[in-house]
Amino acid sequence: MIGARSLSLPVYVLGAGFAKAINEEMPLTDELGATIRARLKDEIDLTELDSQSFEEWLTLRVTAMPFLERYENAKRLSEAERVIAEVASVIKEKTERASANPLPLWLAQLIALWQAEHALVITFNYDTLLERAINDVRPTTPGNSAPNVSFADAIVHPAPQAPSAAIYADLSSSRETPFQVLKPHGSINWHWSSGDPTGSTLTRTRERSTFSGNALYNGDRDSGGASLLDHFLTPPVTSKASYYSLALAQILWRSASAAIHNATSVSLIGYSMPPADLTTVELLRRLGAESTLNLVDAFPGSRDVPTSLAARVSGLGSKELAIWGGQSCVQNFVNSRITAASDSLASALMSDIETEAHKSVLISRASDDGLNSRGYYLALAIRPDNEIVGIEMSLEKLRDLRSSALEAALNTHPRGTWKAENLINYGRLRELAAKHRRLIIRHDGRRYIAIALEHAPLEHTHVAHLHLAPID
């Protein structure tokens, strides 16, 4: 991608299989039902689960039966509410255990890809693994003096109101985020007074955790007491109409509908598109005729079998469907997208003859302390052994590659002595793309691959802003 943002963006739809790919701790729907059954066996009679799916059992409990007396329907509804509360407890516990592990490389790469594409992500998962991964990566957008860092609390929007900001990172604005996440089924950090017909009690706790059991900030994350309320979740039932009357729910679903209708591509990752999930299936039918579809699922089945996931997705009417299957399907899909993005960048660079060769090439990185909502810029430089590296440099010094101030700053740089001719401008970047095809950059002991570039107009200068994804 070389250019500005488009109204037509890639859309990613995430289901339980996506969380499962992050960590085996995370349950699929029927696994969740089995866990609930074991936990509540002494409280609720769940023997009917022998002949019903978890979704079917729960649906029959939240739906008033016309042949039962009112107290019987109330008892059944009460059992359903108890089960839904336990669903939230299970997901919270699984999220904590899963995020105690290091961030998977493929997930860091996928977030980098979303940032480069300015994608819209729709997740039907209640967990906050994605939010914790975003807090780990801390995506950036260019700023006039330093990059702006985005945290998950702002990237997930629209969302219920949160308590007043407690740390500087809480002030990050959703209008400046590099991509957007929608959660139409709610989240384990969203709360309300259950049954509130207006939605006026909706609130949320701020997600400040990361992976490896770390956090951006270890202080009180629920100063307003939101977690004392019930969880705001659309439960796994086959008929969800009664949960969609609130304004926030309608805003989320209409935002998802507009995005899918205008999407350049839609990627279903770990979402099995169950036929009983009528609302989401109908939503996906709004896919534009020119959009492409990617199906990423461990068990897609064959397109020749009408009841298979592959056949049902084929029926959505996309002009093109690509399928990734097997246990490593998500990782393989991400690898293929990163490779395609890198190849596309190289081709775009080599064919772009209009951009001025002396334009600076910058990479924006998040600050290391995790709390700062600002970052720093890296200039690309080439070492004598032809390895491309990123060196930290202020935007002011980089505005004129021939200035004596830049030369002085480079000579005192803690990573070594550099000269202005070591820096890679746009013209040199074109040459490197033609020679090497894929651009690999080293910074702080890690290697990154260049996947996209934007021309970012900053104050008093225009620079080429390079997007990177980690490769080790």
**Is 2 a domain residue?**
no
Q: Which distant-in-sequence residues (6+ apart) come within 8 Å of 258 by Cβ?
A: none
Where among 96, 116, 149 does a domain terminate?
A: 96
- Gap between the Cα atoms of 451 and 339, Å rounded: 8
Concatenated DSSP letters for 343-390? HHHHHHHHH--SS-TT-BEEEEEE-TTSS-SBEEEEEEEE-TT--EEE
Confidence band (pLDDT; 50, 70, 90) for 4?
Answer: very low
> What is the reported pLDDT for 400?
58
- pLDDT tens string 346-402: 999 999 988 888 888 889 998 876 666 678 888 888 888 889 998 887 777 666 555
Concatenated DSSP letters for 172-202? --GGG-SSEEE-TTEEEEEEE-TT-SS-TT-
220: pLDDT strictly greater than 90: no
**Is pLDDT larger for residue 398 or for residue 72?**
72
> What is the reported pLDDT for 414?
54
CB burial class (10 A; 0-12, 13-18, 19+) of residue 393?
buried
What CATH number does the domain containing 325 carry? 3.40.50
Verify that 200 and 286 share a domain, yes or no.
Answer: yes
Six-digit token string for 365: 């990185």
- Gap between the Cα atoms of 61 and 77, Å rounded: 5
Verify that 175 and 311 share a domain, yes or no.
Answer: yes
Lowest mean pLDDT among 22-31, 122-131, 169-178, 263-272: 169-178
Q: What range defines the domain where residue 297 resides? A: 10-24+100-340
> What is the reported pLDDT for 5?
45
> What is the reported pLDDT for 399?
63
Verify that 329 and 380 share a domain, yes or no.
Answer: no
- pLDDT tens string 321-335: 999 999 999 999 999
**Is 348 a domain residue?**
no
- Gap between the Cα atoms of 7 and 21, Å rounded: 30
99: pLDDT strictly greater than 50: yes
109: pLDDT strictly greater than 60: yes
Alpha carbon distances (Å) from 2 to 6, 141, 237, 398, 454: 11, 15, 43, 21, 5
Q: Which distant-in-sequence residues (6+ apart) come within 8 Å of 304 by Cβ?
A: 311
Parallel, antiparallel or unpaired: strands 120-123 and 180-182? parallel
Q: What pairs with residue 374 in β-bridges?
A: 148
- Gap between the Cα atoms of 352 and 32, Å rounded: 52
Verify that 163 and 44 share a domain, yes or no.
Answer: no
Hunting for tokens 């970047």 — which residue is that? 429
Verify that 71 and 189 share a domain, yes or no.
Answer: no
pTM above 0.75, yes or no: yes
- Gap between the Cα atoms of 472 and 446, Å rounded: 6
Six-digit token string for 335: 């690898």
Phi, psi (deg, nearest 5) at residue 424? -100, 115
Verify that 118 and 140 share a domain, yes or no.
Answer: yes
Q: Count how many domains the chain has.
A: 3
Verify that 326 and 457 share a domain, yes or no.
Answer: no
Confidence band (pLDDT; 50, 70, 90) for 1?
Answer: very low
**Is 255 a domain residue?**
yes
Verify that 143 and 76 share a domain, yes or no.
Answer: no
Q: What pairs with residue 360 in β-bridges?
A: 425
- Is the bond leading into 104 cis (omega within 30 degrees of zero)? no
Confidence band (pLDDT; 50, 70, 90) for 16?
Answer: very high
Distance in Å from the first CA to the final CA of the chain: 23
- Gap between the Cα atoms of 92 and 54, Å rounded: 19
- pLDDT tens string 83-92: 999 999 999 9
Mean pLDDT, rounded, for 314-321: 87
Confidence band (pLDDT; 50, 70, 90) for 237?
Answer: confident
Parallel, antiparallel or unpaired: strands 361-366 and 148-149? unpaired
